[in-house]
Amino acid sequence: MQTRRALLFMPGDDRHKIEKGAALGADAVIMDLEDGVALNRKVEARQQVAAALREVHFHLTERWVRINALHTGWAEEDVQVVVPAHPDGVVLPKVQTAQQVQDISHHLSLVEHKHDWPEGHIRLLAIIETARGVMNLREIVESDPRLDGLIFGAEDLAGDLGATRTTGGAEVAYARGAVVLHAKAYGLQAFDTPFVDLSDMTGLESQTREALYMGYDGKLAIHPRQVALIQKVFTPDADAIRRAQHLIAAHHAQQAAGSGVFELDGRMVDQPMVRAAETVLARARAAGIDVDSV
């Protein structure tokens, strides 16, 4: 599956910001038609995004569009105007049921059929940001083969709960864990909520590392300055790669000698630790690193 470490949001009605985001080297950009656009600029934003998809060079960056939530009545027109310009995928906010994912997938199929594109060519990401969405995660992850992953939205969820957002995030901890757990149980990617304090890069790094340790594949960015740090955290460095290689090599040697659990550098090593090391190497390869040359 595509490497998606940092997914950068940008307002869909601002061509300058879209062009700037396209040149940053982010794994993915999400041109926003929802919260980032005022109500009286929705029509203009659709046209701007469609034009940007046709005219802007995004290099190797994936091109996503966050449409409006289904309950607003704007989502279908978002798809009709923007998707013919051929984004890589659509981000659906406020997902609460499997039926919502299936409804958008149906509309995408109609566009694909009209343009003779392969069925399922346009991918989907679902944002889980309501209490009902969290409660229906099992049905949502099973909903449609077009679905590539889940995005956790802490800010909207806290509002839906009537909770107060805190630095520690205890109020959304259950949901944050549930999103990544359900995604990984069904072979989907999981993307962590954005860090909203643009002046606190230390806090961003800390929260991004938390997401990495939880099993998330990437994190949303809401400002260009966040992209490089997020992608760095989700990319194993040379020391991490060498440690993983050392552990896997030792495991192979022990297996050949008929030994299962063994001691390495003062620690007991068993199969879960081997799988964790293999995950480190897989992340490095997905980021384009030749691990054999490290």
pLDDT, tens digit, for every residue of 186-224? 999 999 999 999 999 999 999 999 999 999 999 999 999
Answer yes or no: are the C-beta atoms of 261 and 268 closer than 8 Å. Answer: yes
Question: Rounded to whole angstroms, what are the CA distances from 86 to 79, 89, 123, 238, 267?
Answer: 10, 8, 11, 37, 51
Please report, for residues 218, 239, 248, 261, the alpha-carbon distance to residue 269 in angstroms, rounded to integers and kept in the order given: 27, 18, 10, 6
Of the candidate CATH numbers 3.40.50.1370, 1.10.150.120, 3.40.50.2300, 3.20.20.60, the domain formed by 6-233 belongs to 3.20.20.60
Strands, E assignment, the chain: 6-11, 28-32, 62-66, 89-92, 123-128, 147-152, 189-192, 218-221, 262-264, 267-269
Count of CB atoms within 10 A of residue 133's CB? 27
Q: What is the mean pLDDT of residues 163-167?
A: 93
Q: How confident is residue 129, by pLDDT bands cut at 50, 70 and 90?
A: very high
**Is 156 known to be catalytic?**
no
Beta strands 89-92; 123-128: pairing state: parallel
Tens digits of residue pLDDT in 51-70: 999 999 999 999 999 999 99
Q: Above 90 in pLDDT, residue 123?
A: yes
Give the model's confidence band at 288: pLDDT under 50 very low, under 70 low, under 90 confident, else very high.
Answer: confident
Give the mean pLDDT of the chain.
Answer: 95
What is the average per-residue pLDDT within 138-155? 98
Instruction: State the catalytic residue, choosing from 197, 200, 237, 270.
Output: 270
Return the domain boundaries, the chain. Answer: 6-233, 238-293
Q: What 3-state class would DSSP assign to 63?
A: strand
To the nearest whole percent, how much of the chain has pLDDT over 70? 100
pLDDT at 259 over 80: no
The mean pLDDT value for 28-42 works out to 94
